[in-house]
Amino acid sequence: MTGMGSNKPIKNNKLNDLTGTEWIKFQKSWFVHNPPPREKEVLVHPAKFPEDMVQQFIEFFTKRGQLVLDPMCGTGSALIAALRSGRHSVGIELNPKYAEIARQRVEAEARRSAKDAPCVPTARVFCCDARLLGELDLPPIDYCITSPPYWDMLRRRGYEGQRKRRESGRLDVYYSDDPDDQGNISDYRHFLEELVSIYRVVADTLRSGAYMTVIVKNVKKNGTMYPLAWDLGKAVGRFLVLKDEKIWCQDNQRLAPYGMGKAWVSNTMHHYCLNFKKP
């Protein structure tokens, strides 16, 4: 391949705008990324994407000017990353509070971008159920990157996040009380079915040949590991092709003595970035 391993553009590159060196670096199957401290305006959200990490995925799976979707956009990290990459974006968020934060952040980022570029990509936030995506009359999506709730783990005692979040009275320890929020479903099989139904709607909006990245991890509950990442890979793989995975590792988290002297319980410090493709 022309340009492989060099800082020159890859000839006839149909997927992205990267150089050969940038392409090869992204092909590594694992990476370490320790998210920086969060900005004040997004601390209220109990879990969010690191924008700089998401930007790397967006820049690999799209070209400038293409359209990126996050059907569970939270406070808009994927949309911010898309703007910084020169891509258009659409975010869907069920929680009105998070949707408004996302809109404010996107507007602020667009104003900053306008100072350096005459033409700023569009970024839109819709406050609705992601299952209604097909009713929004959007053009075909070029790439989707998203992360689901990790089942109802944020609802569990002992998994409510840092003690400071609970004691502050200002920071959410779970997403919402909305019955349509997948993070409130207690039955694992029901949760998985509802999540897959959303990704099926997303698949219908993707153009042919487009990719979807789902960032997820396996979860532990009551002494049992539930293979959420693997179950999603198998279920979504029935209508999109599971092409590969990248493993996101964090190495700056404090270790806890789970099960010490009694049983094996790992400190889970990795996520699976599952990459699907629409045939």
Question: Other C-beta atoms within 10 Å of 258: how many?
Answer: 13
CA separation for the pair 191, 151 (Å, rounded): 7
- The CATH number given to whatever domain includes residue 224 is 3.40.50.150
- 2 within a domain of the structure (yes/no): no
Which helix (DSSP H) or strand (DSSP E) does residue 271 occupy? strand 270-277
Q: What angle do CA 60, 61, 67 make, to 5 degrees?
A: 125
- 72 within a domain of the structure (yes/no): yes
The three-class DSSP label of residue 276 is strand
Q: Does residue 184 contact residue 152 with C-beta atoms inside 8 Å?
A: yes
- 102 within a domain of the structure (yes/no): yes
- 261 within a domain of the structure (yes/no): no
pLDDT for position 43: 46
- Say how many domains are in the chain: 1
pLDDT for position 178: 60
- 137 within a domain of the structure (yes/no): yes
Residue 249, both tokens: 């590792």
Range of the domain at 95: 20-251+266-277
* Rounded CA Rg of the chain: 19
Count of CA atoms in the C-beta half-sphere (13 A) of 34 = 5
Which helix (DSSP H) or strand (DSSP E) does residue 85 occupy? helix 77-85
Q: Does residue 175 contact residue 213 with C-beta atoms inside 8 Å?
A: no
CB burial of residue 55 (10 Å; 0-12, 13-18, 19+): buried
Residue 164, both tokens: 């400071």
pLDDT for position 222: 83
CA separation for the pair 227, 221 (Å, rounded): 11
Q: Does residue 50 contact residue 77 with C-beta atoms inside 8 Å?
A: yes
Sign of torsion over alpha carbons 34, 37, 43, 49: negative
pLDDT for position 173: 47
pLDDT for position 115: 76
67-70 vs 141-146, strand pairing mode: parallel
Q: What angle do CA 233, 235, 236 make, to 5 degrees?
A: 70
- 47 within a domain of the structure (yes/no): yes
The three-class DSSP label of residue 34 is coil
Strand ranges of the sheet holding 123-127, from the earlier edge strand across to the other edge? 30-32, 241-249, 270-277, 206-216, 141-146, 67-70, 88-93, 123-127
- 108 within a domain of the structure (yes/no): yes
Residue 62, both tokens: 């799209």
- 95 within a domain of the structure (yes/no): yes
pLDDT in tens, the chain (279 residues): 444 567 888 999 999 999 999 999 999 999 999 987 756 554 454 456 789 999 999 999 999 999 999 999 999 999 999 999 999 999 999 999 999 999 999 999 998 887 777 778 999 999 999 999 999 999 999 999 999 987 766 556 554 455 554 454 555 544 556 666 666 778 899 999 999 999 999 999 999 999 999 999 999 888 889 999 999 999 999 999 999 999 999 998 889 898 899 998 899 999 999 999 999
